[in-house]
Amino acid sequence: MTVIVTGAAGFIGMHVADALLARGETVFGIDECNAYYDPALKAARLAYLRDRHGAAFTFAKLDFADTPALDAAVAGLDIDRIVHLGAQAGVRYSIENPMAYARANLVGHLNILELARARQVRHLVYASSSSVYGGNDSVPFRVEDRTDRPLSLYAATKKSNELMSESYAHLYRLPQTGLRFFTVYGPWGRPDMMMWIFTKAILAGEPIPVFNAGRMERDFTYIDDIVAGIVAALDAPPADDGQAKPGGSMGPHRVYNIGNSRAEQLGEVIDVLEQAIGRKAIRQDLPMQAGDVVRTCADVSAIGNDLGFAPTTSITEGVPRFIRWYRDYHGV
């Protein structure tokens, strides 16, 4: 039996595929490997998986929003479960290129739902985002909070994914779990995210953009904690028992926050980066950006109560691990 992992060349997808393969699963990865950020990094992640796991990992480079291509790639596969992590990411890029989000995050998600329905998979776990909370000022964010006021198109597509999944859970009794990720970082991370951008600039002696004078707070979650939560969710499909699930569904569909449950001030995270790198940052104060929010923090009580999820990695542990990987990867 095969587990499909979409976004397998991506940051979280690679780590999830690695964890599943390490425990003996057979994984079929799917990724378009587009140029949103350096495709060489995506190729390196795939090479890492192939080197570690050999024939247990197979991969198809394709756009999962392309229905005929997706159908052809999975023809003949005995699909057991799907971890759908592929998406067009990034809040700010959604302002510049909205059509990429409509294709990957809306059409693509529907294609994966259709595949899961047609193959009657045991469980579909998919990526949502903390961005769905929009301008919510009730912190920490709870899965019961309103999520109908998105501040970016990216957030709107992720909320749409949750709604589409709810309809499939109702119509077809398809077991699903949506995970609202909170600012994930760690080795093999994404070059468009703060931790990578700041590290690169500090090492080069260049200024770093500090929005809202550093008075921004994020729930930074280390990749190992995220993977533990995803795998725990995958292993425990929601029951179709008519009982309300986290997120409000009465069907076999639940939604969890998955984060570190601690809001870190941007200025303090920069302090930790400086210490780990051994060099001071040149801080360039900038105003808030469109579509951004001041603070995020996850209430993880639902996933903790149901699945035993308990993040363990603080930024003082996780940031130095990322810096060590970054220096090794770049040879700096």
Residues designated as active site: 154
- State the Cα angle at 309 between 306 and 315, rounded to 5°: 155
Number of continuous H segments (helices) and E segments (strands) in the chain: 12, 13
Query: What does each C-alpha distance from 249 to 147, 176, 181, 298 come to in angstroms?
Result: 14, 11, 19, 20
Provide DSSP, 84-150: E------TTHHHH-HHHHIIIIIIHHHHHHHHHHHHT-SEEEEEEEGGGGTT--SSSB-TTS-----
Rounded Cα distance, 252 and 175, in Å:
5
Contact residues for 167 (Cβ-Cβ < 8 A; gap 6+) = none
* Three-state SS annotation for 31-100: ECCCCCCCHHHHHHHHHHHHHHHHHHEEEEECCCCCHHHHHHHHCCCCEEEEEECCCCCCCCHHHHCHHH
Q: How far apart are CA 228 and CA 259, in angstroms?
A: 11
Tell me the residue type at 194: M
Question: Residue 30's beta-bridge partner residues?
Answer: 6, 60
Q: Which residues pair with 256 in a beta bridge?
A: 179
What is the rounded distance in angstroms from the CA atom of residue 121 to the CA atom of residue 176?
10
Contact between 159 and 294 (Cβ < 8 Å): no
